[in-house]
Amino acid sequence: MNDKHLIKSLRYFIIFIIFSIILLGIIFVNEKIPWILGALFGSANAFILFLDLKRTIEFAVEMDVKKAESYAFSKYMFRFIITGVIIYASIKIQYLNVISTLLGLTSIKMAILLRSVVLRRKGDD
């Protein structure tokens, strides 16, 4: 499966997960706007971090082993710190819901897992 087909396929699962997170908040949470903003904030940052991971892998493959290890580790620490800053910001900023931000941050992972489950059930993967 090529990258374009994978990204197109994954896009629908990501949108489904984000809408599911938002819908959960609309149904079960009293303060809907902070929930929605937190989910969007977390999801947007998850997408940016995912693109950074993709770029890191593309660059690391072209490097020698030692340089690739240190480069990948430094980029991992960068993403780890950024995730911490995002969580801290969602705790401090009152119009963001922390739980929906955390769910948004995991939206890409949930979409990848959901896609794998669906394709396995269909027998395509």
pLDDT by residue (tens digit) across 102-120?
Answer: 999 999 999 999 988 988 8
Mean pLDDT of 72-81: 97
Residue 124 is predicted with a pLDDT of 58
Dmax (CA) for the chain in angstroms is 53
Name which of 30, 22, 76, 28 is nearest 53 in CA terms: 76
Assess whether pLDDT exceeds 70 at residue 7.
Answer: yes
Banded pLDDT at 2 (limits 50, 70, 90): low
Please tell me the distance from the alpha carbon of residue 55 to that of residue 65, in angstroms, as a whole number. Answer: 17
Assess whether pLDDT exceeds 60 at residue 8.
Answer: yes
- Domain of 50 in residue numbering reads as 3-122
Instruction: Please tell me the total count of domains within the chain.
Output: 1
